[in-house]
Structure 1
Amino acid sequence: MRSSDHGRRWVMREWFEVGQGVRSATRELGWSYSTIFIT
């Protein structure tokens, strides 16, 4: 088992999950910001 390949795959998965979380958080912030701006 090559640890380097496994580590790279793990890092990619971690970054993917982080990206998803950031995207959802940005969407939530955008919605709250727009509602505050409209009202």
Structure 2
Amino acid sequence: DAAIIYGILIIIVSLLGRLLEKRFTVAGKETQRILISEE
């Protein structure tokens, strides 16, 4: 039972990590565009 719970937690954490990475990369691209346009 514990192994199943840990497996589910690992999957959830990995999915959340991917979502956060996507959001951060999008935000990073937006900030880069703003900095470039300001220059």
TM-score of the superposition, structure 2-length normalised? Answer: 0.89
Runs of 4+ in structure 1 off by over 3 angstroms are: none
* Helix, strand or coil at the partner of 2:11: helix
Among 8, 16, 19, which residue is 1:18 paired with?
16
In 1, Cα distance between the equivalents of 2:7 and 2:15? 12
* Helix, strand or coil at the partner of 1:27: helix
Deviation at 1:37, TM superposition (A): 0.6
Deviation at 1:24, TM superposition (A): 0.5
Structure 1 alignment gaps of length 5 or more: none
Structure 2 alignment gaps of length 5 or more: none
Q: CA RMSD in A?
A: 0.5
In 1, Cα distance between the equivalents of 2:31 and 2:17? 21
Sequence identity (%): 11
What does residue 35 of structure 2 align with? 37
